[in-house]
Amino acid sequence: MLNVCRERKDQGHLGQYGYLATAVSGYTIVEYDVDADALRRDANGHLIQCAVGTVGELLLPVRSYSPMHKFQGYFKDDAASATKLLANAFQKGDLYFRTGDLFRMDDHRRFYFVDRVGDTFRWNGENVATCEVAEALSGFPGISDICVYGVALPGRDGRAGMAAMVFESLDMDAFAKFCLSKLPSYAVPRFLRQVPAMHVTGTMKHEKAKLRAQGVQLSGGDRLFYLDRSNPSQPTYLALTDANVHRIVTASRL
């Protein structure tokens, strides 16, 4: 796949297949339900292909007769291999590999990575792609690493956005304005967690599961902040403390 960038619109997508090559490859994007963390199916139990511009999981066909479409499986881990395969997705007898990646395709058949399955969350009825939020906010001066994820709050549907960040000092007034200028309101992190360093897995991925489990707990030594918009003309992030945490996380408006 070749990605030639001549214009701004050509940037940020995967190498591009033509119409014929895309059809032959069998790559497809199918609808994914963020709330249920599952692929959507129609009345016949088949997966639903995404419309242009709609975010869904990228599936790759597995074909025994084609070296390009074989799946050898994970080394000595048949159980893990089985979780990546999806049979009878669109018709009886077909087989697809689940990439675990959320993509969208534009009307020129360009594929754009959006997020990992399980990372995207819903807040105020909207889907929030953590990778897109992290990319937008990483350009603010002073942030050396950032990890965005959703945290559960008592009595609230969905998850509120939280960003774990590595920084020495940060102008919270300027950062709040930056967030609100770069992102739609629903995608702006409601909470920040200042960490001394970002913990990663053996494959250098952020350990989001541990961060999600911590939620808005104040224990552990990290400093936490919440988005304060009580003065609409001067939004900021204020310290989350034992004295105000209950009031903040149970507030009707976040």
The arithmetic mean of pLDDT across residues 199-225, rounded, is: 90
- Residue range 228-237, pLDDT digits in tens: 999 989 999 9
Residue 153 inside a domain? The answer is: yes
Residues 115 and 132: beta-carbon distance below 8 Å = yes
- The residue among 69, 92, 116 that closes a domain is 116
SS3 27: coil
Burial-class residue 113 by CB neighbours within 10 Å (0-12, 13-18, 19+): middle
Rounded-to-integer distance, Cα 148 and Cα 137, Å: 10
In 3D, which of 53, 61, 48 has the Cα closest to residue 93?
61
- The residue among 116, 146, 172 that closes a domain is 116
Tell me, yes or no, whether 146 and 229 share the same domain. yes
| pLDDT band of 191, cuts 50, 70, 90 | very high
Structural domain containing residue 140: 121-249
Burial-class residue 97 by CB neighbours within 10 Å (0-12, 13-18, 19+): middle
Tell me, yes or no, whether 235 and 131 share the same domain. yes
Structure tokens at 138: 């990483």
In 3D, which of 92, 84, 106 has the Cα closest to residue 9?
106
Tell me, yes or no, whether 101 and 174 share the same domain. no
- Residue range 61-85, pLDDT digits in tens: 998 766 666 777 777 788 888 889 9
The arithmetic mean of pLDDT across residues 222-246, rounded, is: 95
Q: Work out how many domains the chain is built from and give that number.
A: 2
- Residue range 103-152, pLDDT digits in tens: 999 988 888 999 999 999 999 999 999 999 999 999 999 999 999 999 99
Tell me, yes or no, whether 198 and 222 share the same domain. yes
- The residue among 48, 81, 116 that closes a domain is 116
Tell me, yes or no, whether 98 and 165 share the same domain. no
CATH code for the domain of 94: 2.30.38.10
Tell me, yes or no, whether 60 and 176 share the same domain. no
